[in-house]
Structure 1
Amino acid sequence: MKSARSIPLSLAAPIVFIWASGFPTGALGVAAAPPFLLTTVRLTLAALVLAVIALCSRANWPNGKLLGHTAIAGILTYGMQFGGCYGGLSAGVPASVTALVIAMNPVLTAALAACLLRERLSRIRLVGLGLGVLAVVVTLGDQVLAEGTLNPGIFLTMLGLLGFSAGGLYQQRCCAGVDVRTGGAVQSAAAALAVGVAALLEHGHVTHWAQATAVLLWLVLAGSVVGTACYLRAVAVGGASRASALFSAVPPVSALLAWPLLGEIPSIGAVLGIALGAVACVLGTRREPVREAEREQVAGG
C-alpha cells in the first residue's frame, strides 16, 4: 500500500492563502448577494471552468460508481462547506469567527480518520493539532466567547465544518485516482445542484452587482479552480489529516487579510496566532520516520 508523504511548501502555501482570503471576500460577497445564490453561482462557474480545462487537456472522467462517489464527495466538501459558511456569514457570523470554526477541521478530521480509517496519529502530529487549536483560540477565541450562545449562523458554520471534514475523508477513501480537473468539475457541479435547491427557497436579491461580480471572480478562479486542485492534490499526497492540518494557519492569515478588505486591524493575538499556526502546519504535515518493523512488513509484502 502506498504510504502518505509530506506536503511540500509549494503546495501548502497557496492552500493557506486561498482559503484564508475566502472568508473576508465571502463576507463582501454575502453583503451584495444572497448566500446560497452566491454559492450556487460560484460552484456552477467553477464546474464550467474546470470542465473546459479537463476537455481541452483530454483528462479522464470518472464513471460508474466512481462518478457517484466523486459527486458525493463534492456535495460534502464544497456544497456543505461553502453553503454553511456563506449562510453563517449572511446571518451575522464574523469572517474571523467563520475562519476559526473551519480551522477546527484538522482536529475533527484526525479524530474521524482515527476512528473510521484506523489512521495512526503520532505524538508529533498530536502536538501539531494541539498547537493548531491553540493558534485559533489565541487569535479569535474572544470573538467566539462574545457570541454568547449558539445562534443559527454558528450552526450553519458548524454544518460547513462537518461537511468539509467528512468530504476530505470520503475523498481519500472512495475517490483515489480521480483526476483533479475532472474530479473538481464533477464535485463542483454536484455541489451546485445541491445548494441550488436551497437557493430556490431563500429570500433576497443582488444589491450590488459590481461587488458580487468581483467577489465571484476571485472565489471561482482562485478558490474553486486553483484551490480545489491544490486541496485534492494535497489529500492525494499526504492524506486527509495532513491536508486538513494546513488550515490551522488559516484564521490568523484570514485576520491579517481582513485588515485591508474589511478594516479589521490585526491584534497582538493574531500575530501570535500566525506564529503558532505556522509551527502547527510544520508538525502536522511533516514526514514521519518509518519504523524498522513497518519497513520489514512492507518489504515482506
Structure 2
Amino acid sequence: MSPRWLVFAPVIFLLLWSGGYTVAKIALESAEPMTLLALRYGCVLAIMIPLFFIIRPPLPERRADWMHLAIVGFLIQTVYFGFCWLAFRVGVAAGTVALVMSFQPVLVALIAPRWTGEPVGMRRWIGLIIGLVGTAIVINSRTEVAGAGLIGYFFMIMGLLGMTIASLWEKRFGRSHHPITQNMIGYGAGFIGVLPFMLTLDTMHIDWNWEFGIAVAYLVLCNSILAIGLLLAMIRAGDVSAVSSLMFLVPPIAALMAWIGLGEILPPIGWLGMVIAAVGVYLATRKNAVG
C-alpha cells in the first residue's frame, strides 16, 4: 500500500519542478550552464554528506543497489540536465527544449510494456496524445520553434533519452532507500558525470549576487532534493507511464510561473493548451486507464 502523503505528491512535484524553469533562467544570468549544474550538485552533496554522518541511515546492502542508484542519478543529473543545458548553450530556444522533452511520456508508454510489464491501453494512449497536443499549443503560443541545427537536436534527443531511461530503470530496479542515501549516491554520480563538461566547456566564472544565491538555494532544495525525491517515489509506487504523463503539465505550469515571475505573457491560445494538456493527463493517469 502506498503512503497517504503520496496523494499530494503530484501537485507538489509539478509546482516545484515547473518553478525550476523560471528560477534557472534567473540563475543562468550569473553563471554558465555546466558550472551552474556542478555548483547545484556540489551543494546537494554538501548537505547530504554531513546529514549522512549525523543520522547514519542504512547503505544499500547489495552492490547492484549501489549501481542502480548511481545509474539513475547519472541519467537524470548528467544526461538529462547536462544535455538540456548543452542544447541551450548552442542556441536552442527554451520552448523548443521543453517541447521535445514532452515526448518523454510517449517513449515511456512505448517501452513500458516490454520493460516493466505494465499494460498501456487505448485510454492511456488517447490521454498521452491529447496531453502532447495541449503542450505543443502552449509552447508554440509562447515562442517560435526555430531550427536548432543537428547538434542542437542531438543534445535534446540525448536529454530526452536520459530521463526516459532513468524512469524505466527506477521502476524496474529501484528499491526503497533512505532519502539521504539515495540523494548522496545519485548526486555523487551526477556531479562526477558533469565535471568533464564544466572543465572543457565553461570558463567557470560566476557573478555572485543575492538573486543568484536565492536561485541556487531553490534549485538545490526544491528541485534537486524535494522534486527528484517525489518523482522517484511516485515511480516506485505507481505505473511508470502514468507518472511520466505528469510531465505534460510541466510546460504549461512553467509558462504560468514565468508569466507571474518574469512577466512573460501567455496568449489566450496558450491557456486553451493548458486545459487540453490537463484533460490528457487526467485520462492518462486514471487508475483504470489500461483499458
With the length of structure 2 as denominator, give the TM-score of the two structures: 0.88
Task: Give the match for residue 296 of structure 1.
Answer: none
Q: Give CA deviations for 1:186-231 in whole Å, capped at 9, x if unaligned.
A: 1111111101121111133435212432221110010001112111
Q: 1:11 aligned to 2:9?
A: yes
Letter in 2 for 1:242: A
**CA spacing shift, 1:271–1:56, aligned 2, 3 Å:** farther
**CA contact under 8 A between 2:121 and 2:290: conserved in structure 1?**
no
What are the superposed Cα offsets for residues 59-106 of structure 1, whole Å, 9 maximum, x if unpaired? 322242210111011101222111122222333333333322222211
1:100 aligns with 2:99: yes
In 1, Cα distance between equivalents of 2:5 and 2:235: 9
Residue 212 of structure 1 corresponds to 212
Q: Is 1:22 the equivalent of 2:20? A: yes
How far does residue 42 in structure 1 lie from its aligned partner after superposition? Answer: 0.8
The residue number in structure 2 matching 1:250 is 250
Superposition RMSD in Å: 2.7
1:134-213 alignment runs, 5 A limit? 134-141=133-140, 146-210=145-209, 211-213=211-213
**CA distance, structure 1, for counterparts of residue 290 and residue 241 of structure 2:** 18
Aligned equivalents of 2:97, 2:261: Cα separation in 1: 16
Deviations 1:158-181 (A, max 9, x none): 321110110111111122233333
Contact 2:95 2:143 in 1 (8 A): no
Q: Is the 8 A contact 1:40 1:196 kept in 2?
A: yes
State how 1:1-301 maps to structure 2 within 5 Å: 9-63=7-61, 64-141=63-140, 146-210=145-209, 211-288=211-288
- In structure 2, the residue corresponding to 1:209 is in which secondary structure? coil
Deviations 1:120-174 (A, max 9, x none): 1022211211111111111114677641354534432332111011011111112
Distance 2:54 2:87 in 1: 37
Change (3 A) 1:159 1:50: same
Q: Letter of the aligned partner of 1:91 in structure 2?
A: V
The 3 A distance-change label for structure 1 pair 273 and 263 is: same
Give the whole-Å Cα distance in 1 for the aligned partners of 2:168 and 2:134.
Answer: 24
Distance 1:6 1:155, change over 3 A: farther
Aligned length in residues: 289
Answer yes or no: is the 8 Å Cα contact 1:180–1:233 preserved in 2.
no
2: CA distance, partners of 1:257 / 1:153? 26
CA contact (8 A) 2:14 2:249 kept: yes
Unaligned 5+ segments in structure 2 are none
Question: Could you tell me whether the CA contact under 8 Å between 2:118 and 2:239 is conserved in 1?
Answer: no
- Give the Cα separation in 2 of the matches to 1:213 and 1:154: 31
Deviates more, 1:159-168 or 1:255-264: 255-264
Q: Is the 2:34–2:194 Cα contact (8 Å) retained in structure 1?
A: yes
Q: 1:88/1:6 Cα in 2 relative to 1: closer, same or farther (>3 Å)?
A: farther
**Aligned AA (2:31):** A
**Maintained 8 Å contact 1:5/1:238:** no
The one-character-per-residue Cα deviations of 1:6-59 (angstroms, maximum 9, x if unpaired) are 995511111111221122222222232111111111122223324444554443
| Higher mean C-alpha displacement, 163-172 vs 14-23 | 14-23
- Cα distance between partner residues in 1 of 2:6 and 2:127: 16
Q: What is the alpha-carbon distance in structure 2 between the residues aligned to residue 18 and residue 96 of structure 1? A: 19
Letter in 2 for 1:288: N
1:94–1:148 CA distance, 2 compared to 1 (3 A): closer
Task: Give aligned-pair identity as a percent.
Answer: 26
Q: Measured at CA, do residues 158 and 290 of structure 1 come closer, stay the same or move farther in structure 2, by a change above 3 Å?
A: closer
